[in-house]
Amino acid sequence: MGEEPRSIGIEAENKAWNFLRALGYEIKELNNEEYDIDCLAEFPPSITKYRLLRPRYSPEGLTAYEITAGMLRERKIRRFAEKIAKYNKEHEQNQINGGVLLVDEKISPQMSATMEREKIYGWGSNRHSFYQEKIRIFNTWKEQYGPTAENQINNETTYLRCSTPPPTKFDKLLYFAVFFDDHVHKLSAKTVKDIMYKIRTDSIVPLIECGIIPIHAYFEFHALGGVSDLREDVWKYVIEPWRGEGIIVFTPKEPFKNYRAFPALP
């Protein structure tokens, strides 16, 4: 009877650590019994642009990770912060810069703010799905189309970029998947427009200036904080004007993916 809960716990841990590795983390230590810390991991310095960036909602440097089940209470956050403080007091040369709690539920903005005051970040079920989708697209594009990179636009926004220069069998030259890692604000049409024009300046205009026209570009958007009805405004103020410049935009049937209420990490 006692074996089953433990085996379920081990399975959940293995999924969590594989999830971190897929994001690009190096696992330094697992199940540190002395300090009761589930995992110590670090995002390595970038050695190539063709990789994922460190997740925006995470500390730099050595990071403590902990899996917690059930309702997230402030006492769990304080207890986690105390473990990190104890570790740092006894490891002056190898400090933990912060922690991440992996939670099998959605975390409210109010609770997130409470956690951040303790230098603890909360990855709830919606953020798990958000990062998992980024991993999936990155790996799929890399396998199907070629080298794929993640580029940062601002503190909340990054995009995956993949190009398929000729000769190639693909009908689109550029692929973009934009990720808005902001759990507080809904995605607006103005934000989408600003980001698309930033991508246009950085990644599309240089090709046009080299004489490559028309350019077929694929876009999709992922918003952690949810989306409103954006399609009409984005088509009217971005996609249609771009067509007149020789930039032909393609999207999936549902270009805006909402992660406001997503299931837990599979």
- 101-155: pLDDT as tens digits: 999 888 888 898 899 999 999 999 999 999 999 999 999 999 999 999 999 999 9
Domain residue extents for the chain: 3-123, 128-258
Contact 224, 259 (CB under 8 A): yes
**Per-residue pLDDT tens for 193-220?**
999 999 999 999 999 999 999 999 999 9
**Per-residue pLDDT tens for 8-21?**
477 888 999 999 99
3-state DSSP assignment of residue 264: coil
Strands 26-32 and 37-42: antiparallel
3-state DSSP assignment of residue 247: strand
